């Protein structure tokens, strides 16, 4: 392992120093945090880029579909047409409708879902894996769940780290912040620190990606 970054706290401090904490966005980084829109976006963003998701979300907003009550009963073909920009529209449409129905059956409303849902419930839903579950928990429900995406894994790999899977990467990111989250973001609860930390990783990788690889020279120059 050839990296000079020894833990996630050091990585995140360097990202913040370099200006990748985008304060112009939502206070939790993900647009419309704390809303059902996050749930929708977390599913639509699978295997596509955010710009395409934004087009689909805007289509749904125009039809007043950013709530589980309306989405659960909306015609499948019409929904698929609206979310087509995000790709995999048949599967994603089905998953959104099923999740909305299950949410209402289990919790009665999105507000109750936010308070009561747990990771296990989410992982039992069709089309929701660990990354999507953690994104919903952190950005929609404001829980202490650190989101690990492909950017995170690629960034750490470029720094010389190798992990055995999602859980191992997540553990490394969380472990380095134990007792340090207040130093990174003094005014934020830990859940929001996790949110902004993940956001910094994404912001850096979007700017410094070179094909599938991430250029980490800017981070190492800060050593």
Each residue of 161-213: pLDDT tens digit? Answer: 999 999 999 999 999 999 887 889 999 999 999 999 999 999 999 999 999 89
At CA 139, angle to CA 124 and CA 143, rounded to 5?
75
For residue 117, give every residue at least 6 positions away whose Cβ sits within 8 Å of its Cβ, in sequence order, or none.
107, 136, 137, 141
205 and 36 Cβ atoms separated by less than 8 Å:
no
Look at residue 223 in the predicted model and tell me its pLDDT: 47
The CATH number that domain 8-28+146-220 falls under is 1.10.1670.10
Residues 114-126: tens digit of each pLDDT: 999 999 999 999 9
Residues 9-26: tens digit of each pLDDT: 999 999 999 999 988 899
Which DSSP symbol is given to 26?
A: B
Residues 59-77: tens digit of each pLDDT: 999 999 999 999 999 999 9
Kindly calculate the radius of gyration of the chain based on its CA atoms and give it in whole angstroms: 18
Look at residue 14 in the predicted model and tell me its pLDDT: 96
Looking at per-residue pLDDT, the higher value among 1 and 208 belongs to 208
Query: Does the global pTM surpass 0.75?
Result: yes
Domain boundaries, the chain: 8-28+146-220, 36-140
The CATH number that domain 36-140 falls under is 1.10.340.30
Look at residue 3 in the predicted model and tell me its pLDDT: 53
Rounded to an integer, what distance in angstroms lies between the CA atom of residue 108 and that of residue 68?
10
Look at residue 2 in the predicted model and tell me its pLDDT: 45
For residue 67, give every residue at least 6 positions away whose Cβ sits within 8 Å of its Cβ, in sequence order, or none.
36, 110
Residue 222 clears pLDDT 50, i.e. is over it = no
Which DSSP symbol is given to 210?
A: E
48 and 91 Cβ atoms separated by less than 8 Å:
no
Q: Which two tokens stand for residue 195?
A: 């949110």
Q: 25: phi > 0 → left, psi -120 to 50 → alpha, else beta; which?
A: beta
């Amino acid at each position: 392992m050839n990296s000079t970054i020894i833990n996630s706290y050091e990585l995140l401090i360097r990202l913040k120093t370099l200006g990748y904490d985008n304060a112009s966005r939502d206070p939790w980084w993900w647009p419309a945090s704390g809303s059902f829109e996050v749930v929708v976006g977390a599913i639509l963003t699978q295997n596509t880029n955010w710009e395409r998701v934004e087009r689909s979300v805007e289509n749904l907003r125009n039809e007043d579909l950013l709530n589980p009550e309306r989405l659960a009963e909306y015609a499948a073909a019409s929904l698929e047409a609206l979310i087509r920009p995000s790709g995999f529209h048949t599967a994603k449409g089905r998953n959104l409708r099923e999740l909305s129905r299950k949410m209402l059956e289990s919790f009665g409303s999105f507000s109750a879902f936010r308070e009561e849902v747990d990771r296990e419930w989410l992982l039992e839903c069709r089309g929701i894996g660990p990354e999507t579950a953690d994104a919903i928990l952190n950005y929609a429900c404001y829980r202490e769940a650190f989101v690990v995406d492909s950017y995170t894994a690629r960034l750490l790999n470029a720094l010389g780290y190798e992990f055995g899977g999602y859980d191992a990467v997540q553990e490394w990111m969380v472990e380095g912040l134990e007792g340090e989250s207040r130093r990174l973001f003094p005014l934020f609860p830990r859940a929001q620190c996790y949110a902004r930390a993940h956001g910094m990783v994404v912001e850096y990788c979007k700017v410094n990606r070179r094909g599938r690889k991430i250029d980490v020279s800017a981070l190492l120059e800060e050593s």
